[in-house]
Structure 1
């Protein structure tokens, strides 16, 4: 390469590849091969955490606890709860039927399984289930003076300041006393509020009959009150066939408007990582992944020291920093998760009549999976950095860079009109239509209108503004902004092409 002439030979119209260009090409190809090995290792680690069995397990549990009802309770299932009376019917009926599987195959009781419950014969109930409620204090809202003679009590919507933590009822058990939660316990974002992790709680005994007696006792002594805003039912199972924990949370909210709103969280996660031969192969991939991250950290530190502030002017360098940061968090969480599961299992084996808080781990495991999914996405995007030497591969980046100004200007104009229609839809249709009940729902509904996935009859609750809103939105946003802007881009590109040819 060093012996190449600086000028091309006589009769040669195209210059040879320069020495620096050839070295840069070889270096880029070498980095691409190393990065592909890292990407394959990352995919093995991340895809090894999920499986199709997770979906099937979630589906089985949701059908059992959300859709199943009992005949003696007049067909009450979880999703049909409308008031506190329905909640007690569900808790004393379908919930206990789903939790208590004390019969083995052939309708016989096994001596080894007499103190345990195997839901659908395959899912071991870990410990016991826990029921928890959050309340608000009386007189936490203001009553209009004209109505103060008709009503004396006032229970506001749930917020942490208005939460009632005082003892109530019989005051002789843990279910009547407030229990604080640990600091890292996640709050629950429900339909009517954002709920803390403390509350008044109790556990259901192993025996089905004892659980029914306890629920009946609490119902008769008024455990649920007017101040109750939400009730959580938490329990966990383990399926040894597929090595999956299923963490289930059933939530019944009692908003200040009256009635009840139901929701649920069912997480199937793999908390015990190293059991089978394939798991140990994934462990070796995790070790290789850690070595890659250490190498990348050293490389980025050298580049920062060499380039100083110029390092942060490149988008690819910011992407490298993002991948390294997310990877460090993932490694730290893996270590913490392994230690926390070991401690929980030791506690569970020592006393089986307790509630094991696997929801805490499952919540952070899901966030961790989401974080890793985003990092894998950006890791694939980084491949464009190493294939930029190819002319075909650079067409997309050059096209986006040339029209970046037009795209930003169009985005500003588009979202001004888009958000104007969103606030109009929220104010006009919000009280009657679910798709417009919140400002965020309005935004998603308008994107569905643009894609043609919308039920026009829902906004006919307002016979005048409904059609005007829909027709004008489709006309301005779809025909004027989207179609018109695409035509403008085509004309501009054609003019630029003709200018470059000329």
Structure 2
């Protein structure tokens, strides 16, 4: 009985508010469906033959192939890298041979050459330009077992990779020279880094080839 005695103007306002809320919900739902449809169309368009071939070729030549004999006598692949020296061999081998071949369009000679014929230069815009990022990790205190003392005498942060070790800025090894802390002008002097470079917070650099 109390509800029936509510003046009409209040009842009308309540209905108007409900109607506006319903319209707003329908509008938001419609926009959301349009957004999902656009994302689905955009995503499905990326998985074509060219992209598949490029990704397959890039993985094969950069990750699965062994280091060339001219830079390493060991039969190592990217997944086998466990020290900075081997990473430097990979950088001088598969990485440079793929993105900066000496004789165009001949790329690093690996197991599946058919995946590499012109595909890197013609399709690389789909993934963007190559970037070289120097990552540094801080050491921390920890307990080392005696049986492991000959393997390492330091610990890395939890977010660090177990494959990488910190490098001293004054290291004497010739292979370590390019991986010590460098500034932007120093990077531009590298023959294999003709692009732009910059700092990032935490110490290190980015190079865009």
TM tier relative to shorter chain? 0.3 to 0.5
Bigger radius of gyration: 1
Structure having the higher helix fraction is 1
Higher relative contact order (CA closer than 8 Å, sequence separation 6+): 2
